Amino acid sequence: MTMSAVDADAVPSAAVTDTLMGFYARFGHLALDTVERMGKDPASGIEITDRTRRPCLVCAQGKQTRARQQTKDNGAHAPIDKVGEVICSDLKGPMTPMDHLGNRYMVNFIDHKSNCCQVFLAKRKNEAAKMLQEFFVKFEKRFDCKVHVLGTDGGGEYRNVDLFCKNNGVARQVTEASNQAANTKAERMHRTVLNMAGCMVFDARLPLKQMKDGSHH
């Protein structure tokens, strides 16, 4: 999954046409109202040819979960006046089955102001630090900003990012490891991404090992 912000100059010259349900499936079973709003926005680059709505049984299968997610985020009172002031991150895994490249973990990075998100796939937990550096370089260059705070849980996979943050003037905000209520923005993003990936996989009748490919998409 790539960054969610869309550059104005990146709008395609010719709109992509499809039905409402077609775009619904393409966008990982995004809310139909949201898809319709996108279709009315010329900058979105899409044109809806048929707005007929149909029940979707795939969503019930792809978005099932056992626990209600918390909505209070530890970063609720963090300074978020500008893009890049607070970035949160979380690692999920090991997940089964692994994908065809052997990846078992998923790492996300989210900007609190814009909700811009990028997801990385990893074979090992200790790859989180390398992915953090890659994300920072791309994010700061794209948005011409400086990251001020990195918020993560206290999991061991993030211990080796402290030196990088110190050398780059990034403050660390650490919450209790394995406490979903303390880092819910990043935790909820995992659920959102996996919901969308699950819907695409079930809709296309692909094997479950393609879930992580869908997440990266």
Homologous superfamily assigned to 86-192:
Ribonuclease H-like superfamily/Ribonuclease H (3.30.420.10)
Q: What is the pLDDT of residue 209?
A: 58
Please say whether the beta carbons of 161 and 107 come within 8 A: no
DSSP run (H or E) holding 136: helix 128-143
54-100 pLDDT tens trace: 877 667 666 555 444 444 444 444 557 889 999 999 998 898 878 88
Mean pLDDT over each residue of the chain, to the nearest integer: 78
Q: Is the pLDDT of residue 107 over 70?
A: yes
Q: What is the mean pLDDT of residues 200-205?
A: 67
pLDDT digits (tens, 9 = 90+) for 29-45: 888 899 999 999 988 99
SS3 of residue 41 by DSSP: coil
**Residue 112 in this model has a pLDDT that exceeds 60:** yes
Query: 111 in helix, strand or coil?
Result: strand
Q: Which residues contact 108 (CB under 8 A, 6 or more apart)?
A: 89, 90, 92, 117, 118, 119, 120, 186, 189, 190, 193
Taking 80 as the threshold, does the pLDDT of residue 193 lie above it? Answer: no
* pLDDT of res. 132: 93
All structural domains of the chain with their residue ranges: 1-54, 86-192
pTM, whole model, 2 decimals?
0.59
For 149-201, give the DSSP string: EEEEES-GGGGGGHHHHHHTT-EEEEE-TT-GGGSHHHHHHHHHHHHHHHHHH
